A = this chain, B = another copy of it.
């Protein structure tokens, strides 16, 4: 049905091997036959069969990207960056959605292994992940993004969560704020625990006692930010400054403040961190 190297070879009067070499820019092929073969390729509208090529070369030029949520601007902006870069370098990307679940993540990793991807980029859903060991066995390169996985060492692209938050808190303190509330994320994620760590360190270094009732932990989502801000504002003496550990929770928290403007005892200001 489809045109193959053999068809091209026959038309050009050469062997299939020669056609293959032309396709792969083998320098040993003479300019003359190269030109002739190219013309035949054009004429027959030959398209290489990447499946066959991959079977032979063991390379798919495909990278898998697993993220916890697809309709999420933070993750998708990363996805776009990955896709742009890899495309320029001849690779393409399969974007998968682990759906915030370890089981989902495990399934996608399995899927991508079966798809024979050349490598994977993963934003882990938690710091637990023995399913990553499969990748070590199969010798598939992995790069983690934003979060780490325990007992699995590999390259990773991370935010300096601790120092980033430390600086933010330090800034507030230097501007005279001493009672700073904290709305953080899941402590099982490095992005959750490390940002909390930065908060704690800054307070400690400036001799401000940790005040448990103005510290709340959510799940990095809008709704969670809304609820935690509500809890925070409903205690007897709410803080006037609140540090929020990510963008989405900040949206929820802001929403609460706007909706309940008149209820607040005094103005509240918010500081957030990237991610």
Residues of A within 8 A of B (CB): 47-52, 54-55, 60, 62, 70-73, 76-77, 79-80, 83, 92-97, 111, 113-116
**Chain B residues within 8 Å of A62, by CB:** 115
Report chain B residues within 8 Å CB of A52: 55
Contact of A92 among B49, B92, B111 (CB under 8 A): B111
Given contacts A55-B55, A71-B77, A94-B92, contact A47 B83 (CB under 8 A): no
A50 with B114: CB separation less than 8 A: yes
Report the minimum CB–CB distance from A146 to chain B (whole Å). Answer: 16
Distance between Cα atoms of A71 and B76 in the complex (Å) = 5
A80 touches B76 (CB 8 A): no
Q: A71-B73, A94-B92 are in contact. Are A113 and B47 (CB under 8 A)?
A: yes
Q: Return the chain B residue nearest A74 by Cβ.
A: B71
The 5 closest A-B pairs by CB, nearest first: A71-B76, A95-B95, A70-B80, A71-B77, A51-B55
Do residues B49 and A116 form an inter-chain contact, with CB atoms below 8 A?
Answer: yes
Question: Apart from A51-B116, A52-B55, A70-B79, what are 17 other A-B pairs with CB-CB below 8 Å?
Answer: A47-B114, A48-B114, A49-B116, A50-B115, A50-B116, A51-B55, A55-B55, A62-B115, A71-B77, A71-B80, A83-B97, A92-B94, A92-B111, A92-B115, A93-B95, A94-B94, A94-B95
Number of copies: 2
| B contact residues around A72 at 8 Å (CB) | 76
- Closest chain-B Cβ to A118's Cβ sits at a distance in Å of 12
CB neighbours (8 Å) of A73 from chain B are 71, 73
Distance A92 CA – B111 CA, assembled complex (angstroms): 9
Task: Please measure, in the bound complex, the distance between the C-alpha atom of A60 and the C-alpha atom of B83, giving whole angstroms.
Answer: 21
Question: Of B54, B83, B97, B116, which is within 8 A of A80 by CB?
Answer: B97
What is the minimal beta-carbon distance from A58 to any residue of chain B, in angstroms? 9
Task: Please determine whether A51 and B54 come into contact, CB atoms closer than 8 angstroms.
Answer: yes
In whole angstroms, how far apart are the Cα atoms of A201 and B20 in the complex?
59
Q: Which residues of B contact A94 (CB under 8 A)?
A: 92-95
Residues in B whose Cβ lies below 8 Å from that of A116: 49-51
* CB pairs A–B below 8 angstroms (11 shown): A49-B55, A50-B115, A51-B55, A70-B76, A70-B79, A71-B73, A72-B76, A80-B97, A83-B97, A93-B94, A93-B95
Query: A114 CA to B60 CA in the complex, in Å?
Result: 11
The chain B residue sitting closest to A2, CB to CB, is B138
